[in-house]
Copies of this chain bind each other. A is one copy, B any other.
């Protein structure tokens, strides 16, 4: 007798990606794609409805992004295990997804076997990250554990992230101060902290670095 297949739900806003995953996964006898979702909200609904074993989830989606989907599922107390499947490989995004509770992280373009293995491993309760992703994550973790390394990447406080967002819009300190109801002096303080933590020489470079690392979205 054959074992029951692994039930998989696909969540991606691009038709071709869903079609591709369906085509690839269908070649495996122990996989069964039970449904598809084209946005985050739909993904959450279908997980609750269809109770898949594994959710293949894109991070960039309309309505609700991938990290939010994972968090929503957690609040619902859902058992499904999640593999993030995306084009992003920046430290921050990987960390956010894993912290939210993803068990796997694959980059689009991952080879067939890696995809198949990830589904099986995660289904069995394990975790699987692509080597490139794993190393990024490791580095992040180590840096958070040793806050006294010289080459560390410090995390921005929530306030600093707020200010950073305003910087990206091209606002000047005075305008930021008004919007955040604080003094211009305080804004300068935060900006200096941001520059130091990101290793930037000025606000423009800070925005570029933040965008590259996935800390902010332009």
Contacts and interface: CB of A to CB of B under 8 A. Distances in A.
A201 B170 contact: yes
Interface residues of A, number: 37
A24 B14 contact: no
A192 to B, nearest CB: 15
A193 interface: no
Interface in A121-178: 167-170, 172
A203 B168 CA distance: 10
Nearest to A172: B202
A200 B171 CA distance: 10
B207 A208 contact: yes
Contact of A204 (B17, B18, B170): B170
Given A16-B16, A211-B211, 14 more contacts: A14-B87, A15-B109, A15-B110, A15-B111, A16-B109, A17-B17, A18-B20, A20-B23, A168-B208, A169-B205, A170-B202, A170-B209, A172-B202, A211-B218
21 contacts: A14-B108, A15-B20, A15-B24, A16-B16, A16-B17, A16-B20, A16-B108, A17-B108, A19-B19, A19-B24, A20-B20, A20-B22, A169-B208, A170-B200, A170-B201, A170-B202, A170-B204, A170-B206, A208-B218, A211-B211, A218-B218
